[in-house]
Amino acid sequence: MIYIYALSLLFYFSNCMRRNPGAKRVGAGLLACVLLLQLAGFCLRFWKDGVEALFSPYDYLLLVSFSLGGAALVMTFFQKSELAAALVNVIGLLIMMVNRLSFSDQDYPLIHGYTVHGLLVLHVALAGISFAALSLAAVFAGLYLYLHRRLKVKKWSDTIRRLPSLETLDHYIPLSMMWGTSLLSVSLLIAGAVIATEGSWETLADLKVGITIAALGVYLLYFLGRHYKRYTGVRMAQWALVGYAVLIINFLMNSWSAFHSWNWR
Domain ranges of the chain: 1-102, 112-265
Dihedral (Cα; 51, 52, 58, 60), 10-degree rounding = 40
Could you give the C-alpha distances from 31 to 27, 95, 141, 156, 184, in angstroms and in order? 6, 15, 34, 50, 20
Long-range contacts for 58-63 (Cβ within 8 Å, ≥24 apart)?
Answer: 58/99, 58/102, 61/95, 61/96, 61/98, 61/99, 61/102, 62/38, 62/96, 62/99
Task: Say how many CA atoms lie within 13 Å of 133 toward its Cβ.
Answer: 19
The pLDDT of residue 105: 45
114: amino acid identity, one letter: Y
Give the pLDDT of residue 55: 60
- The dihedral through the CA atoms of 128, 130, 136, 140 has a sign that is negative
**Exposure string (b/e) for 229-249, b if CB count within 10 Å is 16 or more?**
eeeebeebbebbebbbebbee
C-alpha to C-alpha distances, 158 to 140, 188, 213, nearest whole angstrom: 19, 43, 41
Where does the chain have alpha helices with state H?
2-17, 21-49, 57-75, 82-101, 109-152, 158-162, 166-198, 207-228, 233-252
Whether the Cβ atoms of residue 263 and residue 120 lie closer than 8 Å to each other: yes
- The ranges of the chain with pLDDT < 50 are 104-108, 262-265
The sign of the dihedral angle between the CA atoms of 142, 213, 126, 77 is: negative
pLDDT of 166 reads 86
Q: What is the pLDDT of residue 263?
A: 47
Query: How many residues are given for the chain?
Result: 265
**DSSP 8-class letter at 253:** G
Integer Cα distance of 188 and 94 in angstroms: 12
- How many Cα atoms within 13 Å fall on the side-chain side of residue 103? 14
Instruction: Give pLDDT, residue 65.
Output: 83
